[in-house]
């Protein structure tokens, strides 16, 4: 089933933010917004829920810390204990101050690398995926707001979007 959407192009990020607020106040549905760079405050203007990526980063850091502690305990205490600089290798707790840098580094390593994979999966950016950008100018200097026509009058919506400062408007049949 094909639905109709309107692509409104803007040339300024402040103009886009104001237009998003006006479109939301008028109770129109915004499908997607394409920008050449992150626009501060756009997520709040669109009414998007806060992201939970920080929680996953914390959990990945905990996993990294656990792996580091288990690895250091096995390598330096259980498997091959060595007397380095006169420090005894009897327990993990006694040697923990010397393990702190390694545990810190693996915590950051796990959090950073697993967050990259999480971001790619969440954004559906698979290897060799074809770009879904509706207008190539949005990678350079334009901002595109996709507004769902739905049960609204397309002519009225087009006029409304021109009044918000859109420089170009196209009616698109989306499949």
pLDDT tens for the 175 residues of the chain, in order: 458 899 999 999 999 999 999 999 999 999 899 999 999 999 999 999 988 889 999 999 999 999 999 999 998 888 887 777 776 667 788 888 888 999 999 999 999 999 999 999 988 888 888 888 888 888 899 999 999 988 888 889 999 999 999 999 999 887 6
Residue 133 CA to residue 135 CA, distance in Å, equals 6
Which of 57, 73, 166, 165 is closest to 112 using CA atoms?
57
Please give the torsion angle defined by the CA atoms of residues 17, 22, 25 and 31, in that order, rounded to the nearest 10 degrees. -60
Give the Å distances, CA to CA, from 110 to 51, 63, 124. 20, 7, 21
Query: Helices 53-72 and 92-123 meet at what angle, rounded to 10?
Result: 140
- Residue-range domain boundaries for the chain: 3-36+141-174, 53-123
Do residues 36 and 58 make contact, with C-beta atoms less than 8 angstroms apart?
no
Owner of token pair 């992150």? 38
Let me know if domain 3-36+141-174 sits in CATH 3.30.70.120: yes
């Amino acid at each position: 089933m094909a639905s109709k959407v309107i692509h409104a192009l803007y040339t300024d990020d402040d103009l886009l933010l104001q237009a998003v607020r006006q479109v939301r106040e008028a109770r129109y549905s915004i499908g997607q917004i394409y920008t050449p760079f992150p626009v501060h405050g756009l997520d709040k203007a669109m009414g998007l829920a806060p992201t939970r990526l920080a929680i996953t980063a914390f959990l990945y850091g905990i996993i990294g810390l656990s792996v580091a502690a288990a690895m250091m305990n096995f390598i330096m205490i259980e498997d091959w204990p060595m007397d380095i600089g006169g420090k005894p290798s009897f327990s993990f707790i006694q040697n923990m101050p010397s393990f702190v840098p390694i545990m810190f580094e693996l915590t950051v390593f796990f959090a950073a690398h697993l967050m990259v994979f999480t971001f790619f999966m969440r954004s559906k950016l698979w290897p060799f995926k074809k770009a879904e950008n509706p207008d190539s100018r949005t990678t350079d200097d334009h901002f595109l707001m996709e507004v769902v026509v739905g049960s609204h009058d397309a002519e009225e919506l087009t006029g409304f979007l021109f009044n918000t400062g859109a420089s170009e408007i196209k009616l698109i049949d989306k499949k």
